[in-house]
Amino acid sequence: MGDAMRAASLSLAEALYAAGAPVRHAVQQSVSGPAALRVRAHQDNIAGVRLPRFESYLSDGGAAGGASSSSPVASLAGLAGGGQQVAACRAAHARALEVLVELASLQTSFLTLDVAIKTTNRRVNALENVVKPRLENTITYIRGELDEQEREEFFRLKKIQANKRRALEQQKEAAARYAEEKAAGEVMLKRGVSMDTAASMLDNGDRDEDIIF
């Protein structure tokens, strides 16, 4: 940029020296119509960030730094022998303008990226300092609840196993009593006394008034 601006300043000094001070008014009076050198803008998407970009161009389709034959400078070619210096001054300032447009594009992109980076940093800080602790607390709470449910389920299974074991023992005891009663009944039958008769004799013996103990 410094070289382009320096060259533009030197070319302006050369044009003023060669053509004289009145060349300023002559150039201003010869300029008519819209500007030939224009700037257009478009956006580049980089990592989700839209960066503005500027580009200089000539409205007649020529190069940004060139001099058109139909430009007002061409009419000054024979003006006190300074037309060539005026054309060179125009081209130097066109190149300087290209550099300035590119610099403006880069500066705007840097500012946009700086804003995007600051926004991203704020979001990262919010995630680390707000969202992440909340999620960690939620995870800790869920783990505690799951551990509590696991302990309750383990205790419930132990109670169910204990109840099943107790019911199985009761069934075994009932089966053992039934087997004992059945064995006793078979012994009584072998002796010729049925269980009902033995029970009736015991009941009658309790009601016999002649028997004194």
Give the Cβ contact number of residue 76 at 10 Å. Answer: 22
Q: Whole-structure pTM over 0.95, yes or no?
A: no
| C-alpha span between 139 and 116 (Å, rounded) | 31
Q: Report, in angstroms and rounded to the nearest whole number, the Rg of the chain calculated over CA atoms.
A: 55
CA distance 90 to 72: 11
pLDDT tens for each residue of the chain, 213 residues long? 677 777 777 777 777 767 666 667 777 777 777 777 888 888 888 878 888 888 888 876 444 444 444 445 545 545 555 677 777 877 888 888 888 888 888 898 899 989 999 999 999 999 999 999 999 999 999 999 999 999 999 999 999 999 999 999 988 888 888 888 777 777 666 665 555 555 555 555 555 555 444
